[in-house]
Amino acid sequence: MSLSCSSVRSHLALYVAEGLSRKQRSAFREHLTQCANCRQEAAEADPSLLFAALPREEVSAQEVAHVLASVRSGIALREAERKVGVRRWRRLAGVAGAALLAATALLLPGGSRRSESPQLAPAAEGPSVPAEAAWQPAAQPARVDRAPSDVTIYDLNPGASRSEPRFVRVVGRSIDI
């Protein structure tokens, strides 16, 4: 949609009063960026219309790359902080649990209590709750719904039927094509 000079001039007041549609506003601005006479008339009518011809700031590819790099760094830092926080929390939880059990064992009187509550016996010897649970391999391999985004995967027998095993080779990102 393009507007003529007379059309722009007759719509100046409507533009300022926010009375134009989005399409009309867009055409109005486009005309002002191209027509110096209309820009002048618009500025005389309302000085704030000087900025109707203000273009969007240009952003170079270098700036985009800079922002992307800074976002990557920010995400990596937050991930690292989160992992450190989780490990520290598990360690604290383990130590707190052990301390609680030891304190309970010390406060409770004699062996009779121990025989009544056999689960306290291990506490007397020391903390039985490990700081981190021992890793147990899964009974079946976990199903991966989404491929990891940092590798390339090649299927070595793509025509294999469902009953045949799949053989894949996972390579680093540097060998991506």
Q: Which residues form the interface with other proteins (CB under 8 A)?
A: 16, 18, 22, 25-26, 29, 36, 39-40, 43-44, 46-48, 50-57, 59, 63-64, 66-68, 70-72, 74-75, 78, 146-147, 149-160, 164-165, 167-169, 173, 176-177
> What is the C-alpha separation between 96 and 102, in angstroms, rounded?
10
Strand partners, 169: 154
CB 2, min distance to other proteins, A: 16
The smaller minimum CB distance to other proteins, of residues 134 and 177, is found at 177
> What is the C-alpha separation between 69 and 58, in angstroms, rounded?
19
Burial call 66-84: b when 16+ CB within 10 Å, e when fewer:
eeeeeeeeeeeeeeeeeee
DSSP3 helix / strand / coil % (the chain, rounded to 5): 60, 5, 35
Burial of 106 per CB tally in 10 Å (0-12, 13-18, 19+)? exposed
Do β-strands 168-172 and 151-155 pair in parallel, antiparallel, or remain unpaired?
A: antiparallel
CB 139, min distance to other proteins, A: 24
Tokens of 131: 């700081």
CB 138, min distance to other proteins, A: 20
CB 93, min distance to other proteins, A: 24
The smaller minimum CB distance to other proteins, of residues 116 and 176, is found at 176
The smaller minimum CB distance to other proteins, of residues 68 and 96, is found at 68
The smaller minimum CB distance to other proteins, of residues 72 and 91, is found at 72
The smaller minimum CB distance to other proteins, of residues 7 and 152, is found at 152
> What is the C-alpha separation between 112 and 134, in angstroms, rounded?
32
CB 48, min distance to other proteins, A: 4
